């Protein structure tokens, strides 16, 4: 296996500190999910057996790679056409790196930097930036209109409704663009890794984690779940109130069908919110495990530039 054996503390070519200090960063989550993310990181990092950790990493990576990417990397593992052998030998490749570190490969950092620059997704990121700017502008305009010219709720809704609808559309556009950018960047860097024998075991030395969730995506998911939760609760309360009034007065105000529709739709909405919340937790865990599975493991390399300090800003991951 190429580039996966060596001493625990090899010395190698000088690389950027932002590469050398990379650890598998989790997604930038909202405050409500940071404790859960920290718990998941601790659980994954608490495994003291490199063999078990390597097997878990190999399973995650094999599922993350596309079929074409697995076929491209399989010859280096001598596991063409055999998924079980692919996972087993990838786990062994990863175990050696986890236990012993990895021998330096001269072009690894430069090649990774060039691949990462090529995978920036500038167009999608530009679209995300424009959508976020539009979102902020529309929200500010709606707030200014509300504060400068107070009006009855019905009239106010007519005035700022189009602005809020435009803000919601801008948020969706930003979230979709950000998600596509993350997905395409990750695929491009995985393409780079599978073209290099032994690289999946070593990890990918990127400046920014491959599975970092973007703020627009997390905001859109949070607001969507919150809106669905509020609508479901209101539907249940209104339906229950109407049903109680009907029972007390013994005469239907709206009829039984609309009341039951409100109750059932509200209950279904609550079930959907719980299910989506569980899926979001599983997505968070998956992102964390992917980040840990692709973590760069050539830990013995040191930065020979004495002027290099701690990374700052976006480089701190």
Report CA 128 to chain centroid distance, whole Å.
16
Torsion of CA 223, 226, 228, 232, to 10 degrees: -160
Residue 20: per-residue pLDDT = 38
d(CA 99, CA 5): 10
| DSSP reduced 3-state for 316 | coil
Residue 21: per-residue pLDDT = 37
d(CA 208, CA 25): 8
Q: Is the CB of residue 181 less than 8 Å from the CB of residue 155?
A: no
SS (H, E, C) 3-71: CCCCCCCCCCCCCCHHHHCCCCCCCCCCHHHHHHHHHHHHHHHCCCCHHHHHHHHHHHHHHHCCHHHHH
Q: Is the CB of residue 244 less than 8 Å from the CB of residue 262?
A: no
- The residues of the chain scoring below 50 in pLDDT are 1-29, 31-32, 46-48, 300-317
Among 37, 19, 18, 35, smallest CA distance to 27 is for 37
Residue with tokens 């390399």: 301
- Residue-wise pLDDT for 137-148, tens only, equals 999 998 888 888
Residue 132 structure tokens: 């976020």
d(CA 42, CA 262): 43
pTM above 0.75, yes or no: no
Residue 32: per-residue pLDDT = 46
Residue 50 structure tokens: 């490199």
Residue 157: per-residue pLDDT = 78
Residue 127: per-residue pLDDT = 95
Residue 106: per-residue pLDDT = 80
């Amino acid at each position: 296996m190429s580039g996966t054996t060596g001493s625990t503390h090899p010395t190698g070519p000088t690389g950027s500190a932002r590469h050398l200090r990379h650890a598998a960063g989790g997604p930038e989550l909202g405050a409500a999910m940071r404790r859960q993310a920290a718990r998941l990181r601790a659980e994954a990092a608490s495994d003291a057996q490199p063999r078990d950790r390597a097997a878990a990493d190999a399973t995650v990576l094999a599922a993350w790679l596309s079929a074409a990417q697995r076929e491209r990397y399989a010859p280096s593992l001598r596991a063409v056409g055999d998924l079980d052998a692919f996972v087993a030998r990838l786990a062994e490749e990863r175990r050696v790196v986890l236990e012993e570190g990895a021998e330096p490969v001269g072009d690894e950092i430069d090649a990774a930097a060039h691949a990462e620059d090529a995978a920036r997704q500038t167009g999608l990121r530009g679209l995300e930036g424009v959508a976020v700017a539009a979102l902020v502008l529309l929200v500010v305009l709606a707030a200014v209109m509300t504060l400068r010219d107070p009006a009855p709720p019905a009239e106010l809704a007519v005035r700022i409704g189009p602005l809020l609808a435009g803000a919601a559309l801008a948020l969706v556009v930003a979230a979709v663009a950000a998600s596509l950018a993350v997905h395409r960047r990750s695929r491009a860097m995985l393409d780079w890794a599978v073209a290099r024998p032994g690289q999946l075991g070593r990890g990918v030395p990127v400046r920014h984690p491959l599975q970092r969730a973007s703020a627009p995506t997390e905001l859109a998911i949070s607001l969507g779940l919150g809106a669905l939760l509020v609508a479901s609760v209101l539907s249940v309360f209104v339906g229950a109130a109407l049903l109680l009034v009907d029972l007390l007065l013994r005469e239907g105000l709206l009829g039984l069908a609309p009341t039951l529709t409100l109750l059932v739709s509200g209950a279904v909405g609550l079930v959907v919110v719980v299910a989506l919340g569980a899926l979001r937790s599983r997505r968070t865990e998956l992102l964390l495990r992917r980040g840990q599975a692709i973590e760069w493991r050539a830990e013995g390399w040191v930065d020979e530039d004495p002027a290099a300090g701690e990374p700052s800003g976006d480089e701190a991951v």
